[in-house]
Amino acid sequence: MLSDVTTPQDLDDRFREALAALAAPGRRADPAQPVADGATLTGAELLDLFDAQVTSRQLDLAGRWLRSFGEGYYTIGSAGHEGNAGVAAALRPTDPALLHYRSGAFYCVRAAQVARNAEPDTDRKSDADPAGGGDGRTANAFATPPPSTVGATGDPGRAEGTTPVDGDPGSAEGTVPTEDDVEPAEEVEAPADDVDPAGGAEPAEGAAVPGTAGGGSVGARAVDPGYADAARDVLRGMVASREEPIAGGRHKVFGRADLAVVPTTSTVASHLPRAVGMGLAVERLRRLETRQEPTWPGETPAATWAPDAIVVCSFGDASINHASATAAFNTAGWYDHTGLRIPVLFVCEDNGLGLSLRSPQGWVATALRSKPGVRYFAADGTDLVETYEVAVEAAAWVRRHRRPAVLHLTTVRLMGHAGADAESAYRSAGEIRADLDRDPLVATARRLVEAGLASGAELLDRYDEIGWRIRRLAEGVLDEPKLASPAEVVAPLAPRRPLRVARAVAEAGDRAAGPGAGARVEAFGGKPPELVGPLTLAQSINAALTDGLLDHPQMAVFGEDVAAKGGVYGVTKGLRDRFGVARVFDTLLDETSILGLGLGAGLAGMLPVPEIQYLAYLHNAEDQLRGEAATMRFFSQGALRNPMVVRVAGLAYQEGFGGHFHNENSVAVLRDVPGLVVAVPARPDDAAAMLRTCLASAAVDGSVCVFLEPIGLYHTRDLYTDGDGEWLAGYAEPGAWAGAHVPVGRARVYGVGSAEDVTIITFGNGVRMSLRAASALADEGVGTRVVDLRWLAPLPVADLIREATATGRVLVVDETRRSGGVGEGVLAALVDAGYVGAARRVAAVDSFVPLGPASRQVLVSEEAITQGARTLLAR
């Protein structure tokens, strides 16, 4: 009897009752024929997709079962959403996918597609693997049908002629670009819909339906072994097994690199900006002759997507209200408006609820229909055939036109939000029952029976057979090892290979001095920067970016105002003219989307160098760095990576340009992101070397680097007296790059006077102020060593401890705030290392930076540094 929450038992009982009530089919249909008039899906294909739906459902039930005795750690299921099997079937297995946590049936279909492509011999479908054990990626845990249903495995019966006609013959062609700094619109060489432009390896839309083993009755067909692969993956995720294929026990997520399924975080909608970035990158790489070139010479190119791939990302209906989602829709539409191609298929799986919150009646359709530049498709997601047919149409449209679309699937949510959710608190029993009446599995079964493809009893046998085998798989993964040490957990987080990075920098120098010398001289207008004379910090970064773009064919520089204007501080001046709009481009004004573009581009094998115009504006987009960029290696065990060097102009002390938002001095939000590299160059020569290091580290190790540029030092020329030019530095010629290399996490030390009395540990603007203070102290006979951390993450712990111990008196000069500032980390590092000397701290006041002269009240000053040192010496 149904209670007021739907338990696994209720759902199972209800399914059995519904199937038992289905009348026996009057006649048997030919499974090779379309399942309905006007449909392209054949009976055999529908039978197969039913298996995917059942696999997904049985996984949900297994998740609850595992939880019931404390061995499962995840109970958010896909029940009610299994129509998404039809979306996967409408796509190519190589189309990159970022999936909603309820896209279980999609995942099953994708796994089966890939398994079949990897092993085209359909005989394998009958290879029994009764134990269902081992990794068994191609072994078939579903292969032995129970005695009652054993039948001949016949011709797979893949339907011919399932290719759909393009769904939108009358749609507008590419709009004319309105921006002069974007690539011109260009219609993809539209293939005939049934021709594969990539060379025939891929089926066209609608022909990719997976296992169709056994063309006869339902009992005669073996279940596609790819579903066992998928089931094992998901179960391993539920029990946090180390063997789980993407996150290795770190996260329960749909993902596998060989399935082109990119893991997502559980922050709803945060994967959408990345999906847009991936769409942009697919198009950009298709157009660039360099698409097969690696990010760094000698590395394997990361981009493996077909030139005509489309990106798919799914999400729930409540998620469309999230800022990240609205950013992604807007960015896709904005670029479409300018004529730039972004082939993304958004799939909204609309069950009408976001946990307990209802989507207002009609809101989702209204909102999705009105996204400018994003074409709207809709289907009843509980009807597999309709879902498939509309998904085929939507995918074909996106693939042909290389433009974004959204597929709105209405679904139901069965068994509540997750295992612990008591739906009855916010839904009536009647509503819950109404959802059960729309169970997509029952709907598919009804179709199959009505079409004469199966009887209810046969389908129930199928359901039980798959359920039984999933239980066995679940029992098999229970004993698999878990992550058992901190080292094991963090191993894939941010591997660093400093020697390879150093070698990469040296090799870049060799290329720039050798084969690339001519192009380099040309790019620099006949005069390379090492011949120009001393440079400012801004000029030095500009030159290093130029050298990076010359050496990395996949590098792209983008952000607000970086191209036409050359950046608000001129740091990217001239780059667009030197390298063109495909590699240096202005983005729309949205930091979430800027980072999303970087995330997608990095995943596609590019080397993105996005710019955040001011540190204050990183904060509204910070999750794209923390939640998305920094987790990718962790959640994919290094199988996927999003290398990136995010340039951020920040920190305080701008002459004549006051106020908090242009003088933000908080980096706390970055310092605790595991694996993130945070660089703060203070001097021009360090800036160029550190940028080279970041680019090499991103290319070699896939590092995510934040390159925080002190605005106050961009154009500084002098150190001690007007005109001394001591804050300028010459640019190293390429042959000297190896010698000038600055490894990640190594500090720079300046000795002033005897350098024996006090150690100042600082960074950024603090370096220049401290050197000036040290000069004043030297006049008083005090010898100082000034340590420029250069890297805020990872901190140069060994260097700072050595230098602290050398004097036994440490003054931390921290231009960030006292609470949560960098100084806290420095002092903690000293304590952790057993430093026993004296220590003091000079830091900014816990305040936002006020306008004008008032800023001096809260920021660190040279006088405060000198005073701090004197107090330390007086102890």
Ligand X SMILES: Cc1ncc(C[n+]2csc(CCOP(=O)(O)OP(=O)(O)O)c2C)c(N)n1
Shortest approach of ligand X to residue 674 CB, angstroms? 19
CB atoms within 10 A of CB 874: 6
| C-beta closer to ligand X: residue 351 or 410 | 351
3-state secondary structure at position 657: coil
Exposure of 634 by Cβ count < 10 A (0-12 exposed, 13-18 middle, 19+ buried)? buried
Shortest approach of ligand X to residue 317 CB, angstroms? 4
Q: Which of residues 609-648 bind ligand X (CB under 6 A)?
A: none
| C-beta closer to ligand X: residue 103 or 765 | 103
**Local structure of residue 216 (DSSP, 8 states):** S
| C-beta closer to ligand X: residue 251 or 286 | 251
| C-beta closer to ligand X: residue 324 or 536 | 324
Can you list the alpha helix ranges (DSSP code H) found in 69-122? 85-90, 104-118
Q: Per CB under 6 A, which region of 109-117, 348-356, 445-453, 820-828 contacts ligand X?
A: 348-356
> What letter represents residue 323's amino acid?
A
Q: Per CB under 6 A, which region of 6-14, 288-296, 312-320, 525-533 contacts ligand X?
A: 312-320
For helices 104-118 and 43-68, the axis angle rounded to 10 degrees is 120
Per-residue x/- marks for ligand X, 463-492, CB under 6 A?
------------------------------
d(CA 478, CA 496): 33
Shortest approach of ligand X to residue 484 CB, angstroms? 28
Q: Per CB under 6 A, which region of 87-95, 350-358, 534-542, 641-649 contacts ligand X?
A: 350-358
Q: Considering only CA atoms, which of 344, 100, 118 is closest in space to residue 210?
A: 118
d(CA 666, CA 652): 10
Q: What is the DSSP string of 659-713?
A: SGGGS----HHHHTSTT-EEE---SHHHHHHHHHHHHHHHHHH--EEEEEEEGGG
| C-beta closer to ligand X: residue 268 or 804 | 268
The verdict on 432 binding ligand X (CB under 6 A) reads no
**What is the maximum alpha-carbon separation in the chain?**
104
- Residue 510: both structure tokens together: 């060799």
> What letter represents residue 138's amino acid?
T
Shortest approach of ligand X to residue 356 CB, angstroms? 9
Choosing from 220, 231, 268, 690, the residue that interacts with ligand X (CB under 6 A) is: 268
Tell me the residue nearest to ligand X as measured from the CB: 316
| C-beta closer to ligand X: residue 344 or 728 | 344
Shortest approach of ligand X to residue 595 CB, angstroms? 16
| C-beta closer to ligand X: residue 276 or 445 | 276
Shortest approach of ligand X to residue 417 CB, angstroms? 6
| C-beta closer to ligand X: residue 100 or 400 | 100
Choosing from 210, 354, 596, 766, the residue that interacts with ligand X (CB under 6 A) is: 354
The verdict on 317 binding ligand X (CB under 6 A) reads yes
| C-beta closer to ligand X: residue 415 or 793 | 415
Shortest approach of ligand X to residue 577 CB, angstroms? 41
- Residue 768: both structure tokens together: 């220049």
The verdict on 75 binding ligand X (CB under 6 A) reads no
The verdict on 348 binding ligand X (CB under 6 A) reads no
Q: Which of residues 247-266 bind ligand X (CB under 6 A)?
A: 266
d(CA 811, CA 869): 6
Q: Which of residues 402-421 bind ligand X (CB under 6 A)?
A: 413, 417
The verdict on 319 binding ligand X (CB under 6 A) reads yes
- Residue 48: both structure tokens together: 């197969």
Shortest approach of ligand X to residue 553 CB, angstroms? 36
Choosing from 267, 326, 775, 805, the residue that interacts with ligand X (CB under 6 A) is: 267
Shortest approach of ligand X to residue 636 CB, angstroms? 19
Contact of 642 with 704, CB cutoff 8 Å: yes
Q: Which of residues 14-33 bind ligand X (CB under 6 A)?
A: none
Q: Per CB under 6 A, which region of 108-116, 202-210, 317-325, 612-620 contacts ligand X?
A: 317-325
E-assigned strand segments in 455-598: 555-559, 584-586
Q: Per CB under 6 A, which region of 118-126, 314-322, 385-393, 430-438 contacts ligand X?
A: 314-322
313 has which bridge partners? Answer: 98, 346
| C-beta closer to ligand X: residue 99 or 607 | 99
CB atoms within 10 A of CB 420: 8
Shortest approach of ligand X to residue 294 CB, angstroms? 35
Shortest approach of ligand X to residue 137 CB, angstroms? 29
d(CA 466, CA 18): 18
Give Cβ neighbours of residue 172 (< 8 Å, ≥ 6 apart).
Answer: none
- Residue 786: both structure tokens together: 């000034």
- Residue 262: both structure tokens together: 């990119």
Choosing from 59, 85, 88, 353, the residue that interacts with ligand X (CB under 6 A) is: 353
3-state secondary structure at position 425: helix
Choosing from 23, 24, 131, 355, the residue that interacts with ligand X (CB under 6 A) is: 355
| C-beta closer to ligand X: residue 315 or 714 | 315
**b/e sequence 37-75, b meaning 16+ C-beta within 10 Å:** eebbbbbbbbbbbbbbbbbbbbbbbbbbbbbeeebbebb
d(CA 499, CA 505): 10
Choosing from 316, 404, 596, 598, the residue that interacts with ligand X (CB under 6 A) is: 316
Contact of 307 with 356, CB cutoff 8 Å: no
Choosing from 39, 247, 318, 800, the residue that interacts with ligand X (CB under 6 A) is: 318
Contact of 98 with 265, CB cutoff 8 Å: no
| C-beta closer to ligand X: residue 416 or 467 | 416
| C-beta closer to ligand X: residue 88 or 550 | 88
**b/e sequence 746-762, b meaning 16+ C-beta within 10 Å:** bbbbbebbebebbbbbb
Q: Measured in whole angstroms, how far is the alpha carbon of residue 371 from the centre of its chain?
A: 23
| C-beta closer to ligand X: residue 171 or 428 | 428
Q: Per CB under 6 A, which region of 35-43, 138-146, 352-360, 751-759 contacts ligand X?
A: 352-360
- Residue 848: both structure tokens together: 């936002």
| C-beta closer to ligand X: residue 426 or 569 | 426
**How many residues interact with ligand X (rule CB under 6 A)?**
17
* Strand order from edge to edge, sheet including 791-793: 584-586, 555-559, 607-612, 644-650, 704-710, 677-679, 791-793
| C-beta closer to ligand X: residue 295 or 319 | 319
Choosing from 58, 140, 351, 855, the residue that interacts with ligand X (CB under 6 A) is: 351
How many helices (DSSP H) and strands (DSSP E) are in the chain? 26, 20
Choosing from 57, 102, 552, 683, the residue that interacts with ligand X (CB under 6 A) is: 102
Give Cβ neighbours of residue 849 (< 8 Å, ≥ 6 apart).
Answer: 652, 658, 659, 660, 663, 664, 665, 855, 858, 859
Residues in the chain: 875
| C-beta closer to ligand X: residue 421 or 577 | 421
Shortest approach of ligand X to residue 75 CB, angstroms? 12
Residues engaged in binding ligand X (CB under 6 A)? 102, 266-268, 315-319, 322, 349, 351, 353-355, 413, 417
